[in-house]
Amino acid sequence: MKTKSVAASVTQFVLAGLAAVVLISAGTFYVVRHNATTEAIRNARDIATVDAHAVAEPLLSDAVLAGDPVATQQLDSVVRQRIIGDRVVRVKLWTPGGRVVYSDEPRLIGRTFSLGSDEAETLKDGQPAADLSDLTEAENIFERQFGKLLQVYVPVHTAGGQPLLFESYLRYSSIAESGRQIWGNFVPVMLGGLLLLFLIQVPLAWSMARGLRQGQEERERLLQRAIDASDAERRRIARDLHDGVVQTLAGVSYSLAAAAERTEEAPNGAEVGSALRQAAADTRKSMRDLRSLIIDIAPPNLHDEGLDNAVGELLAPLAAEGMETTVDIDDDAARSADTQTLLYRVAHEAVRNVAAHARATRLDVSLVRDNGLVRLVVSDNGLGFSADRLDERREEGHVGLSLLTGLVADAGGRLVVTSTPGTGTRLEAEVPA
């Protein structure tokens, strides 16, 4: 039992730890991949800036701007040798008016397109920019064959100071590959660290769970000893009350009754005899109250006495006061000790409430077994009450039925109380047999 409990606790820790590792890994993976992609794009922008300023710009003479074939051919040769490659698939040079003055795709040279807001902003503020290429635009008709591309804009100038926009198109797969290389170097270290930390914690968790379990078992043993000692003490007190005070009161009651008879026979003794009889009656009532108290202090041993006899003892004081009572209990209906104890507690609380509040003249208690359930019914013909009154009593601190309702629910059953003012009350409890 102990090993299973500790194992269950550690298993829960392991599962929770694995879930935490997965969540942390997923979150870290997303953040690192996003940052790696951002860093790869930044690197691509820096490379394009170097290509623009170090490779292309020195060859940008006014002759290129004027469309001179020799100057254009010289620029094209350098671009193809030093820029175009596996990563960069297209280069364009734009005027601020949107005319393509150069491209490694000659069919674009001389054509005019509307510059987008990003291109215009780059020419205005002089800062390189990068974004995904919209291949549906007319200017990108010859780039569609390459698939997803990243376009980088870099402002440059001709030798005569004329502003131009250098644009290079990079395969996005190369950007993604650079990002994967960045986070690929980080993720194994991160995962290894998390798993190592997790594996170190598992034996610690096992040791802690075992220690906690042992401490809990020790507390349970101490609590059980305290309960056993309390139960033994309560039974000793109940035995002393029954064998001492109750028997003494019984003797006093008989003596008072006998004295009343003798006194009434004497001249002018009627009044004194009546007082003695009342004293005898009060003494018998005190005896019944004491017996009820004894039951409260030390409930009967249901296994030895049976639920039928135990409930009969609960009703005996009410029957002695003139209330009509019936007890119809099948002792074989509830076979487990826990079920018997729970049903006895429910019956005890119900009978106590009837005695204290119902002003009933009849009380019926029945216990039967039906379809795998044990059903206890306690009904009276007393004053009854409304649901509002039940809530008021609960707020006043009378929570006996509420607590029992929870205990019955914990046992897999249900407890229902139905009552209407003037028609009595019915309590029904069902628990698995």
CA distance to 46, 321, 430, per residue, from 354 (Å): 90, 13, 20
| DSSP code for 110 | T
| Cα dihedral 218/219/221/225 (nearest 10) | 140
3-state secondary structure of 364: strand
Q: What is the CATH code of the structural domain delimited by 304-433? A: 3.30.565.10
Pairing relationship of beta strands 362-370 and 414-420 according to DSSP bridges: unpaired
| Token pair listed for 258 | 């006998």
Using alpha carbons only, give the angle 109, 111, 113 rounded to the nearest 5 degrees: 130
Q: How many CB atoms lie within 10 A of CB 119?
A: 20
Confidence of residue 189 (pLDDT cuts 50, 70, 90): confident
d(CA 373, CA 379): 19
Q: For the chain, give the mean pLDDT.
A: 80
- Residue range 8-28: mean pLDDT, rounded: 71
3-state secondary structure at position 176: helix
121 within 8 A of 15, measured Cβ to Cβ: no
In whole angstroms, how large is the CA radius of gyration of the chain? 48
pLDDT in tens, 208-245: 777 777 777 788 787 677 756 765 676 677 667 666 77
Q: What global pTM score does this model have?
A: 0.42
Confidence check: pLDDT of 115 > 70: yes
Looking at residue 398, what is its pLDDT?
52
Q: Tell me: the pLDDT tens digits for 301-350?
A: 666 678 888 888 888 888 888 899 999 998 888 888 888 888 988 998 89
The average pLDDT across 243-259 equals: 74
Residue 119 near residue 94, CB atoms below 8 Å: yes
Tell me, what's the pLDDT at 103?
Answer: 92
Considering only 72-86, 175-189, 272-286, which range has the smallest mean pLDDT?
175-189
